[in-house]
């Protein structure tokens, strides 16, 4: 079962997860991080940047793999996930740019891009800690409903709902690409620790389906139930549709101090 931790707000979530990532890097300086984009993980990256500024840590060997990329945006487009990862993660955290990978959304290379990305993850020894957000459709990465739990990095078609949700980053919904390249649910499930963060009531249904619903490809988030080490961090609003909330709070309050997340 996933460990569900209810926190006061997004900043508290960011601090909790950032502390865990820092501990991982202290123990393993060449740790492999799975990076998510979108709004949700920003407090994690901000908290990590503060932590590194307060107490410097050598992060030059840290490696990273992004979950996904839009297909067909021109190189250097400010909303390409390559640009976003550079702006929000690589630069503020002082990571080594060559160690941070994003799948290529260049249409010319698409037939080989998924397999290339999978090989790169395997060569790195796999992902130690995968940061995840969740879409209102229940997607992890951009694995929209119907995605196979065994899927690997490949091209997917974004749902109209996801394109509308991400229109805030573009001039209009029509400018949001229709296609993306995303790690599969099978890729994500191979990471050794999944940390899923969600804030706001717009995510409450997707979180309840992921944590407590039936395991079904119709709710890609439910793939987390097949993983042995999952931490779900939510604010009160995102937690509001969870049936077993009292138990999650009880378990967190009584968590052994040695355990970590």
Coil, strand or helix at 77: coil
- Measured from the CB atom, the residue of 169 and 249 that comes closer to ligand F6R is 169
- Measured from the CB atom, the residue of 105 and 133 that comes closer to ligand F6R is 133
Query: Residues near 161 by Cβ (< 8 Å), separated by ≥ 6?
Result: 135, 136, 137
- Measured from the CB atom, the residue of 37 and 147 that comes closer to ligand F6R is 37
Shortest distance in whole angstroms from residue 34 CB to ligand F6R = 10
Shortest distance in whole angstroms from residue 6 CB to ligand F6R = 18
Shortest distance in whole angstroms from residue 97 CB to ligand F6R = 18
- Measured from the CB atom, the residue of 102 and 261 that comes closer to ligand F6R is 102
- Tell me the residue number closest to ligand F6R, measured at CB: 133
Rg (the chain; Cα; Å): 17
Shortest distance in whole angstroms from residue 168 CB to ligand F6R = 8
Which residues make beta-bridge pairs with 140?
A: 143
Residues with active-site annotation: 68, 139, 144
DSSP character string of 92-146: HHT--GGGEE-----GGGHHHHHHHHHHHHHHTT--SEEEE---TT--BTTB-TT
**Which helix (H) or strand (E) element contains residue 210?**
helix 204-212
Where does this chain bind ligand F6R (CB under 6 A)?
36-40, 67-68, 133-135, 139-142
């Amino acid at each position: 079962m996933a460990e569900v931790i209810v926190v006061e707000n997004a900043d508290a979530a960011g601090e909790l997860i950032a502390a865990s990532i820092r501990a991982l890097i202290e123990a393993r300086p060449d740790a492999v991080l799975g990076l998510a984009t979108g709004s949700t993980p920003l407090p994690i990256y901000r908290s990590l940047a503060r932590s590194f500024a307060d107490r410097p840590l050598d992060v030059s060997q840290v490696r990273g793999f992004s979950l996904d990329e839009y297909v067909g945006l021109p190189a250097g487009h400010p909303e390409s996930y390559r640009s976003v990862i550079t702006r929000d993660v690589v630069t503020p955290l002082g990571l080594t740019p060559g160690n941070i990978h994003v799948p290529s959304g260049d249409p010319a290379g698409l037939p080989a891009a998924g397999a290339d990305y999978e090989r790169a993850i395997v060569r790195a020894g796999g992902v130690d800690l995968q940061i995840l957000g969740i879409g209102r459709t229940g997607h992890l990465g951009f694995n929209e409903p119907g995605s196979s739990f065994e899927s690997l990095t490949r091209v997917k078609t974004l749902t109209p709902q996801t394109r509308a949700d991400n229109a805030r980053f573009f001039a209009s919904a029509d400018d949001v690409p229709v296609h993306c390249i995303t790690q599969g649910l099978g890729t994500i499930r191979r990471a050794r620790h999944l940390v899923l963060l969600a804030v706001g009531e717009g995510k409450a249904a997707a979180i309840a389906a992921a944590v407590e619903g039936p395991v079904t490809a119709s709710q890609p988030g439910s793939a987390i139930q097949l993983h042995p080490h999952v931490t779900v961090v939510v604010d009160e609003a995102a937690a509001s549709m969870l049936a077993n909330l009292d138990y999650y709070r009880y378990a967190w309050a009584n968590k052994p101090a040695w355990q970590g997340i």
